[in-house]
Amino acid sequence: MTVITNDGYQMGIRRLVGQRSVFASITRGGEPAATAYHGSMAFVRISHDPAVMGGKPCIRGLRITVGTVLGLIASGSSRERILQAYPQLEAADIDEALAYAAWRLEEREEGLVMS
């Protein structure tokens, strides 16, 4: 569910079933304003913004998706090579991308029902 407020903030809320978790991302003018997660883990380096990369999970609001990082690792690129290719990234970004991917495999996403 996405809500746009009168002051220009856009909030996306998703309920992630499995651990009864709720994830919310807030943007203003296409820029991430806040990311919140209620559940067993918080990913402060992972952002979701519908205006950036189609809402795919990105690293710190950059146009580098978690999928890009995972794909590079899966194809055999070393952490050092990834950090050279993407100087905006930090080693902790790669760690969090891996942790986020592992967490997402354990969750099931369900749409919220408005009543």
CATH code at position 60: 1.10.10.10
- Which residue carries 């952002």 as its tokens? 47
Question: What does the pLDDT read at residue 17?
Answer: 45
Around Cβ 32, how many Cβ atoms within 10 Å? Answer: 17
Give Cα separations from 29 to 60, 62, 80 (angstroms): 16, 15, 34
Question: What does the pLDDT read at residue 49?
Answer: 87
| Whole-structure pTM value | 0.61
In a domain, 115, yes or no: no
Range of the domain at 59: 2-107
| Domain count of the fold of the chain | 1
- What are the average pLDDT values for consecutive 10-residue runs of the chain, which has 115 residues? 47 48 54 50 85 91 94 93 96 92 76 71
In a domain, 113, yes or no: no
In a domain, 112, yes or no: no
What is the distance between the alpha carbons of residues 13 and 22, in angstroms, rounded to a whole number?
Answer: 7
- CB-CB contact of 61 with 32 (8 Å): yes
- CB-CB contact of 97 with 47 (8 Å): no
